[in-house]
């Protein structure tokens, strides 16, 4: 548990240290940050799919969950202590909740995804974050209605909703307890989990705050 008073300065300092000292961590211009709900039960599937398209986005960080539902992106490339405090406040105000993943849908651009049901609490969480950070509109403000989703694949000559369902159908339906927000850094050869906040509680520093260095 984190102290309720004041911003999470240690968390902010940890992220800055990783960005500054880890040679594997790219500069902000080479990637982007995402506030995401991780879905660990589907991580193997999404990690394998990611490797097929671009292996440079396969993370070596054991805390990084490739399968996720975005609640705000892109977010700050250099988050401040006040930014951390705002996310902590949002997370603290929202308790854990369950969603079910079973229905495959497709966006007009061909993205095939799982749509969480119900999605009201995810929408509320995303709305709270968007309100807290008006300088970071969801997806750069490109969409009037941001639909919570977990991306699975993109339609192609060999990929359809039917083929995707055939590959993951044995994992569905899946009930997921949404109990945290992860701060993820997405970049070629540099995907990392930088921080995590527990819903209904305070920021969880994870197993280590020490910046990773090459061996």
Q: What is the rounded CA–CA span in Å between residue 187 and residue 119? A: 28
pLDDT category at 202 given cuts 50, 70, 90 is low
Instruction: Enter the pTM of the model.
Output: 0.82
| pLDDT, position 21 | 32
Q: What is the mean pLDDT of residues 110-127?
A: 98
pLDDT 10s digits, 138-152: 999 999 999 999 999
Is the confidence at residue 10, as pLDDT, over 60? no
What mean pLDDT, rounded, does the chain reach? 85
**Range with lowest mean pLDDT among 21-35, 50-64, 110-124, 171-185:** 21-35
| pLDDT, position 201 | 75
Q: What is the mean pLDDT of residues 137-166?
A: 96
Residue identified by tokens 């991780």 is: 38
Long-range pairs for 123-127: beta carbons < 8 A, 24 or more residues apart: 123/148, 124/94, 125/37, 125/71, 125/90, 125/94, 125/178, 125/181, 126/71, 126/72
Fold held by 9-24+35-204: Cyclic Phosphodiesterase; Chain: A, (3.90.1140)
Q: What is the rounded CA–CA span in Å between residue 76 and residue 72? A: 10
pLDDT category at 28 given cuts 50, 70, 90 is very low
Q: What is the mean pLDDT of residues 3-8?
A: 38
Q: What is the mean pLDDT of residues 121-148?
A: 97
Q: What is the mean pLDDT of residues 49-74?
A: 97
Q: What is the mean pLDDT of residues 109-114?
A: 97
pLDDT 10s digits, 75-105: 999 999 999 999 999 999 999 999 999 999 9
| pLDDT, position 30 | 73
Percent of the chain topping pLDDT 70: 80
Helix axes 81-93, 9-21, angle to 10 degrees: 130
């Amino acid at each position: 548990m984190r102290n309720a008073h004041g911003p999470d300065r240690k968390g902010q300092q940890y992220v800055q240290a990783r960005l500054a000292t880890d040679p594997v961590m790219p500069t902000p211009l080479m990637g982007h940050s995402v506030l995401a709900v991780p879905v660990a039960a589907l991580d193997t599937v999404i990690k394998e799919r990611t490797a097929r398209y671009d292996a440079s986005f396969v993370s070596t960080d054991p805390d990084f969950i490739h399968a996720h539902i975005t609640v705000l992106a892109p977010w700050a490339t250099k988050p401040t202590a006040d930014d951390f405090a705002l996310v902590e406040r949002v997370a603290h105000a929202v308790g854990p909740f369950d969603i079910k993943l079973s229905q495959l849908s497709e966006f007009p651009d061909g993205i095939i995804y799982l749509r969480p049901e119900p999605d009201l609490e995810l929408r509320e969480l995303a709305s709270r974050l968007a309100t807290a950070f008006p300088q970071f509109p969801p997806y750069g403000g490109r969409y009037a209605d941001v639909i919570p989703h977990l991306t699975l694949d993109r339609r192609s000559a060999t990929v359809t909703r039917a083929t995707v369902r055939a590959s993951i159908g044995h994992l569905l339906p899946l009930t997921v307890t949404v109990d945290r927000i992860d701060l993820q850094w997405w970049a070629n050869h540099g995907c990392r989990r930088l921080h995590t906040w527990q819903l209904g509680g305070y920021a969880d520093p994870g197993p280590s705050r020490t910046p990773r260095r090459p061996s």
